[in-house]
Amino acid sequence: MAERVLVAMSGGVDSSVAAHLLKEQGYEVMGAFLRLGEGGVAAEKSRACCTVEDAIDARRVADRLGIPFYSFNYAQQFRRVIDYFVDEYQRGRTPNPCARCNQWIKFDTFHGLARDLGASFVATGHYARIVRHGGAVELHRGTNRAKDQSYFLAMVPYATLAECIFPVGDLAKSEVRRLAAAATLPVVHKAESQEVCFVPDNDYRRVLAARAPGSMRAGEIVGMDGRVLGGHDGFQGFTVGQRRGLGVAAGTTRYVVRTEPAANRVVIGAREDALSARFRVSEPNWLLPAPPELPFSAEVQIRYRSTPAKCTVETDTDGGLAVQLETPRFAIAAGQAAVFYRGEHTLGGGWIEA
């Protein structure tokens, strides 16, 4: 009897091809779509995910493949992610809602649904790979490094990861498109989602204004010496490392070094002022059978598109982790994920605190 797998179908080409490949490989495939957004907002978006249109596309693909399809509305549960997003900006941090959604909502929900539907595995269209060694599993980067999404999966519990399949992890995007065309999937030419699903036009300030009205107040932009250089309409509109849109004529290029929520102030400086060689990490999540022995050497990635940096990972005084970089890095932002690697192997990750 074929093993049953539940495919998280987003309505995009990656998850659609994932379902197609698993069916070709002999699995008993089912598809499921999670509606996470709110209709009024979703209707405005053109390149985000989880919209009504995406649900329709996912069902069309399921019909084309001849597999059962289920749609579930988890918009109420997803408000936790939206509240987190707003709260992080209010605290002067830079949130990572996609990684939090994977951690809090998507994978937990899909695995619960899989158990209810009698499926042994959950599959998604992520560009990452599961490598199995007997009873142990490892999360590896996607073969196509330009599309690798292991960074966003580092906070998923290890036990959950062991029941995952990532069918497109060995493929390039062009190959995924080719497979979609060969299978005549109706989403073959669909554009990629490149926005946070609840942030229309990537305008996160609009979300903050709507969710926390009155919280964005005028304040000062100051230099590293405290001298007032300009003004702002809300410190939440600035992120560490930002250099455009500062509205300050400083004579030389200046970057946001930090925001100070209590003082409603934005501090800017030279590029070297935004360099750091050490930071703290909270909520460590290890994608290993047992936590590693500390200290250890690895590479750490501090943003989705950043180049991994060599580091030493140590125990911090509060039970978290302390990360010492070999070379200082620019704009290490509290609130972002820090993900640890050894080559292609994703060891785990945590949340940058300072």
Each residue's pLDDT tens digit, 238-260:
999 999 999 888 778 999 999 99
d(CA 172, CA 152): 18
Alpha helices by DSSP H, listed for 278-348, are: none
Q: Are 300 and 277 in contact (CB under 8 A)?
A: no
Which of these is catalytic: 50, 101, 164, 311? 101
Structural domains present in the chain: 4-125+167-201 (3.40.50.620), 216-269 (2.30.30.280), 275-352 (2.40.30.10)
pLDDT for the residue 38: 57
pLDDT for the residue 44: 45
Q: Are 86 and 63 in contact (CB under 8 A)?
A: no
Give the residue among 217, 340, 338, 205 at the shortest CA–CA distance from 280: 338
Does residue 101 carry a catalytic annotation?
yes
Give the residue among 213, 252, 212, 206 at the shortest CA–CA distance from 229: 252
pLDDT for the residue 197: 83
Which of these is catalytic: 49, 50, 98, 197? 197
- Give the residue ranges of the chain where pLDDT is below 50: 39-47
- Name the token pair of 323: 């990360």
d(CA 113, CA 100): 19
pLDDT for the residue 203: 86
Sign of CA dihedral 88, 89, 92, 96: positive
Each residue's pLDDT tens digit, 257-312:
999 999 999 999 999 999 999 999 999 999 999 999 999 999 999 999 999 999 99
